[in-house]
Amino acid sequence: MKCTEFLKELTDYLDGRINENLRVELDEHLHWCHECHVVMNTTKKTIEIYRDNQIYELPEDLRNRLHQAIMSKCRKTKSEKTTSHE
Amino acid sequence: METIQKKAEEGITSELALVQAAKKGDLEAFSELVKRYDRNVFRIAQHITHNEEDAQDVVQDAFLKAYQNLEQFQGNSKFYTWLVRIAVNEALMRLRKRRNDRTVSLDEDVETEEGSIPREVAGWAPNPEQLYGTSELGDILKKTIQGLSPGFRTVFVLRDVEGLSTEETAEMLNLSIPAVKSRLLRARLQLRDRLAKYFKSKRGGDGQR
Ligand SMILES: [Zn+2]
C-alpha cells in the first residue's frame, strides 16, 4: 500500500468505519511507515482538540437575551397570522 | 399545552411532539425547541461567520424562519437537520454580506491542493493537551479554523465538533456523501498542517515522547 492510498482511507479509518480486511492492510502500513503514523496520530489529536475545547460557547446572559428576542418575534408573527385570518 | 410543558420539563417530550404542538400555535413548545438547539446553532453560526454579531443574528433569524415556515416542515427528516440547514444558509448569507462577495459558497476552494498532501510530518511535542482550557489554546484554535474555506470548516464543524453523521451532514448541506467525505478529509488535514506550526516538536525529535 502506498502512502497516498493510506491517506485516502484516513477519514474512514479514524471514524472506525472500515471493513476488517482493509483495516488489516492499513494497520500494516502504519506499522512500517513512520510518516503516515505521525499524520494519523496528529490528525486524531486535531479532531480531539476541537471536540474537547468548545471555542464558541453561548454565554448564559446572551442566551437569555436571544431567547427573549426570538420568542417576541415569534409572538408577533403569530398575532399577525391570526389577524390576517380574521 | 400544560402536558407539553410538563413533559418537556421531564425531558421526555419527543422532538416531533414539540414540532406538532408548535405548528398548532403552542409557543411554549417552540420555546422548548429553541432551548434545545440554540447553543448548537450559535456554535455552527460562529464557526461559519467568525463574527459574534453575525452569529447572534443567525440564531435569531434561523429560529424565526423555522417558526414562520413550520408548515413546510414535513417531518421526513429531523427538525434539527432542517433547522441547521436554515442556519447554514443564513450564516453564508451574512458571510457574503460581510465580505461583500456574492460568490461565497460551500463549494469555494474545494479545488485547492492544500491538505491533500500533508506537509508537516513531525510529531507533536509537548502534547497540546497541556494547553487545554487556556485562552492561548482557544486563540490558536480560532485562528487556525478561520483560515479554512467556508465549505471545509462547515463540514468539519458539523461532523467533528457537533458529532453529526456523514449522512446527516450531507442532508444539511445538500451535498453528496462522497463530497462530504472528501471535504472532511481535506479539512482535517489542513487543520492538522496548520496546527503543526504551534505544536510540532521543536527539538527535531520524533514527537513520540
Ligand atoms: Zn505511509
Contacts of B34 in chain A (CB under 8 A): 67, 70-71
Contact B49, B55 (CB under 8 A): yes
Per-residue pLDDT of A13-72, as tens digits, reads 999 989 999 999 999 999 999 999 999 999 999 999 999 988 899 999 999 999 999 999
More confident residue, B98 or A84: B98
User: Following CA atoms A56, A58, A59, A60 in sequence, which dihedral angle do they give, to the nearest 10 degrees?
Assistant: -160
Q: How many CB pairs under 8 A join A and B?
A: 121
Contacts of A41 in chain B (CB under 8 A): 123-124
Question: Which CATH class, in words, describes the domain spanning B2-99?
Answer: mainly alpha
C-alpha–C-alpha distance, residues A30 and A13, integer Å = 12
- Positions of CATH 1.10.1740.10 in chain B: 2-99
d(CA B209, ligand 1 centre) in Å = 21
From the list B77, B75, B76, B35, the residue with the least C-alpha distance to B59 is: B35
Contact assignment for B163 to A45 by CB distance below 8 Å: no
List the single residue in B39, B56, B132 with the smallest CB-CB distance to A53.
B132
Contact assignment for B181 to A63 by CB distance below 8 Å: no
3-state secondary structure chain B: CHHHHHHHHCCCCCHHHHHHHHHCCCHHHHHHHHHHHHHHHHHHHHHHHCCHHHHHHHHHHHHHHHHHCHHHCCCCCCHHHHHHHHHHHHHHHHHHHHHCCCCCCCCCCCCCCCCCCCCCCCCECCCHHHHCCCHHHHHHHHHHHHCCCHHHHHHHHHHHHCCCCHHHHHHHHCCCHHHHHHHHHHHHHHHHHHHHHHHECCCCCCCCC
> What value of ipTM does the predicted structure carry?
0.89
C-alpha–C-alpha distance, residues B58 and B44, integer Å = 10
- Positions of CATH 1.10.10.10 in chain B: 113-199
Contact assignment for A42 to B123 by CB distance below 8 Å: yes
Q: pLDDT 10s digit of each residue in chain B, 209 long?
A: 555 555 445 555 788 899 999 999 899 999 999 999 999 999 999 999 999 999 999 999 999 999 999 999 988 788 999 999 999 999 999 998 888 777 777 776 666 666 677 877 888 887 788 888 788 899 999 999 999 999 999 999 999 999 999 999 999 999 999 999 999 999 999 999 999 989 887 654 444 43
Instruction: Mark out chain A residues that contact chain B at CB-CB < 8 A.
Output: 4, 7-8, 10-12, 14, 34-35, 38-39, 41-43, 45-47, 49-58, 62-63, 66-67, 69-71, 73-75, 77-78
Contacts of B160 in chain A (CB under 8 A): 47, 50-51
- Please report where in the chains the cell 408548515 appears, as a residue: B71
| pTM beyond 0.95, yes or no | no
C-alpha–C-alpha distance, residues A76 and B203, integer Å = 62
From the list A29, A22, A9, the residue with the least C-alpha distance to B188 is: A9
Domain residue spans of chain A: 1-55, 58-86
Question: Which CATH class, in words, describes the domain spanning B113-199?
Answer: mainly alpha
- Ion ligand 1: residues, CB < 5 A: A 3, 33, 36
